[in-house]
Amino acid sequence: MQTLVGEKAPKFSATAVVDGCSIVQSFSLEQFLGKRYVALFFYPKDFTFVCPTEIWAFQEKLQEFERRNVALIGCSTDSEFSHFTWLETPRERGGIQGVTFPIISDINKTIANEYGVLAGCTEDDDGVTKITGELVAYRGLFLIDKSGIVQHCVINNMPLGRNVDEVLRIVDALQHFEKFGEVCPANWHSGQKSMKPTRDGLKEFFK
């Protein structure tokens, strides 16, 4: 699979549920170009087990994303009506009522396919299309800068929940580099020492 890192994020226009209560048509990333960063994450299914823990973890850090000027957006291959119903279901009943960031419906599976996170596969056998596995999204996440370029991506298999704090750390690293032109070493966190991308900068870092 070819990585999207360093490339323009694939464009799309899809139906989404926004603010936890409104279904909107023609939701796209173009509204954020030149204005905001985007953290677009995919998850397999509504009304499951690991997925709501991730969505709540993202929601609990929503203000941290907003503070960094990052638009947080979820996406799965469920319909907008499934999203809406899940958003109306209380947390104690397995729902995500209270989640406010947009959740996109990729019912045709084209967005997940364009971003390289569609599980399962289709193949033609003498004119008959055969599907292997479920055509749902892996746990992919893409950090897109204000120019629409993918700067970071991570893709987990279905059982493996993501670390939301790591997403914020990567956002901090990207914004630090953009502001100061200094690169961020392993395990770097905001406020820690970074380095100039030169041999002298490397020597200075290890002093």
Structure tokens at 35: 């204005």
Segment 69-93, tens digit of pLDDT? 999 999 999 999 999 999 999 999 9
Segment 142-159, tens digit of pLDDT? 999 999 999 999 999 999
Structure tokens at 56: 């709540």
Q: How confident is the model at residue 200 (pLDDT cuts 50, 70, 90)?
A: confident
Q: How confident is the model at residue 130 (pLDDT cuts 50, 70, 90)?
A: confident
**pLDDT (average), residues 118-124:** 80
Q: Among residues 21, 51, 153, 184, which one is catalytic?
A: 51
- Residue 72 and residue 42 in contact, taking contact as beta carbons nearer than 8 Å: no
What domains can be seen in the chain, in order of their start residue?
14-162 (3.40.30.10), 163-207 (no CATH)
CA separation for the pair 191, 18 (Å, rounded): 34
**Residue 21 annotated among the catalytic residues of the structure:** no
> Cβ-count burial of 63 within 10 angstroms (0-12 exposed, 13-18 middle, 19+ buried)?
exposed
Return the number of other C-beta atoms located less than 10 Å from residue 169's C-beta. Answer: 16
- Per DSSP, the three-state class of 197 is coil
CA separation for the pair 73, 57 (Å, rounded): 13
CA separation for the pair 158, 174 (Å, rounded): 27
**pLDDT (average), residues 45-54:** 96
